[in-house]
Structure 1
Amino acid sequence: MPPTHPFYVDWTFWAVIVALLAVLLSQLPPVHILLRPKRLEVEVHSRLQVTHQVGNPNVGLYVNIANTGGRELRVRRVQVDVSRDGKYLGALPAQNYFETPSSQSSVLFVPFSLKPGEHWGHAVNFLSFFDRQTEKLYRQNQSALDADIRRKLDARPKGDEQIVVAEQSLVAPFTALFDRLFIWEPGEYVFALSVNADPGSASYTKKYRFTLYESDTLALRKNAEDYQYGGGISYNVPRHVGVFVPLAEHVG
């Protein structure tokens, strides 16, 4: 009987192992990719849109989020935290975004995944929705305001195109809501942008700053003048787009 040798001195065995290892490695990304840290890089546009919906603060900003790491990441939440002159005003989460620069309507923001090298860039709207009770009252008051305006429009003589004004008692709930929610007073603002991701080590936060002047606040407050006509409540008014202000990196 010929002598037997351990399998590990059999070069045929190792040739098979090397071949299998080559096939396995061909299905995996390069080692230098695997060893790269889990990382997000975020860029924003240099101008910020500041506006409101019956006082409820809104911010519009173009945000580009890129996965520059070696593993797939999932972006769970994007939000901004706003402060004025050192006083914290609140958090505004991303609620919707425009899919393309030419989109006329926005789509709902939902969590999304990014593979290595992929990016997500869109114009994003940041705001807090009304709570349930406020939303209910808003819709009731809107319905009453619309009915009053429609009744007055229908009562106009034929050929009369004069604008009609709602009863002050029906406008009052909206001006009161505006007074309660409006935050865009003149001052120096700090704007903290946070991107929360899985895994958490990939999450990102960076602070920016912008300034609102008295003229900016006045322009935003003028929106309330249209509530008596239903503007900004029942239909959009072009000048209610808000003000666009320079955004700079905050140091300190």
Structure 2
Amino acid sequence: MYSKISITHKVGNPNLQIHLIVNNIGGRKVRVKGITASITKDGELITTLPAQNYLESQSGQNTLLFTPFSLNPSEEWAHIINLLNFFNREDEQEYRRLEAKMLANYRSKKSTSNPESQNLIEIDENLVQPFHSFFDKHFIWRTGEYQLTVYINTDQKTTNISKKYRFTIFESHTDQLKEITDKYKFGDGIWWNSVLSSVIIDIKEA
């Protein structure tokens, strides 16, 4: 794995991006069934994130759904992968409900606003606050020392592997990731994104 990772979030829900290289150094064909990453802080498991998709090429932004793949002896698989948990059913329903209310408020205000104005339309505070609570509930990238363990699960227990890394999230990293919450009142970071709020962090083998 490369020596840097990228962390971000969607309304607090953690996303992790890593550049992973998998080599089959054995003499038999191996099928990789899944890749997961566990995040611990102060000895406590914070979350486990499965690989959901990966970049088709290092220079592009087109993503492909992560599915099991096979490696012949001496074959290599190297991609930038995105690991995250999608919202569970309860959170997804809550998110969509809040988003629908915010969008309705936005459209109502837009219909009566000056079409020549370049100012962003500000959503009513009572509709924005629930997204801040949603963020606080799901956000994990707080200041501190972390351990990252990457697991590669295969069709044979003897070829399953894992590797541990450590990294530090500084206060400036956390502040940067939280900046987008100031723009929730405009719908930014909810149904549209002015910028991708991500942080690049150095990692070391543990």
TM range, smaller chain: over 0.9
Partner of 1:177: 134
1:5-24 correspondence runs (5 A): none
Of the candidates 3, 22, 25, which is equivalent to residue 65 of structure 1?
A: 22
Structure richer in helix, relative to its length: 1
1:59-98 correspondence runs (5 A): 59-98=16-55
Rg comparison, structure with higher value: 1
Deviations 1:7-35 (A, max 9, x none): xxxxxxxxxxxxxxxxxxxxxxxxxxxxx
State the one-letter code of the partner of 1:236.
N
Distance 1:166 1:134 in 2: 21
In the TM superposition, residue 248 of structure 1 has moved relative to its aligned partner by: 0.5
In the TM superposition, residue 206 of structure 1 has moved relative to its aligned partner by: 0.7
Residue range with higher mean Cα deviation, 84-93 or 73-82: 84-93
In the TM superposition, residue 67 of structure 1 has moved relative to its aligned partner by: 1.0
Deviations 1:159-193 (A, max 9, x none): 11111111112112211110111111111100001
Distance 2:137 2:27 in 1: 47
Of the candidates 77, 80, 91, which is equivalent to residue 120 of structure 1?
A: 77
What's the TM-score, normalizing by structure 1?
0.79
In the TM superposition, residue 95 of structure 1 has moved relative to its aligned partner by: 0.9
Structure richer in strand, relative to its length: 2
Of the candidates 177, 197, 201, which is equivalent to residue 245 of structure 1?
A: 201
Residue range with higher mean Cα deviation, 60-69 or 140-149: 140-149
Deviations 1:122-148 (A, max 9, x none): 111111111011112211221221221
Partner of 2:178: 221
Distance 1:125 1:197 in 2: 19
Deviations 1:202-246 (A, max 9, x none): 011010000011111111111211111111110123241x11010
What's the TM-score, normalizing by structure 2?
0.95
**Gaps spanning 5+ residues in structure 1: where?**
1-43
Distance 1:157 1:193 in 2: 52
Distance 2:5 2:62 in 1: 19
Partner of 1:234: 191
- How many percent of aligned residue pairs carry the same amino acid? 37
Partner of 2:59: 102
Give the secondary-structure state (helix, strand or coil) at the position aligned to 2:93.
Answer: helix
**Alpha-carbon RMSD:** 1.2
Distance 1:45 1:155 in 2: 51
Give the secondary-structure state (helix, strand or coil) at the position aligned to 1:247.
Answer: strand
Structure 1 residue ranges (4+ consecutive) displaced by more than 3 angstroms after TM superposition: none
Larger RCO, structure (CA 8 Å, separation 6 or more): 2
In the TM superposition, residue 158 of structure 1 has moved relative to its aligned partner by: 3.4
State the one-letter code of the partner of 1:139.
R
State the one-letter code of the partner of 2:79.
H
**Gaps spanning 5+ residues in structure 2: where?**
none
Residue range with higher mean Cα deviation, 158-167 or 146-155: 146-155
Partner of 2:12: 55
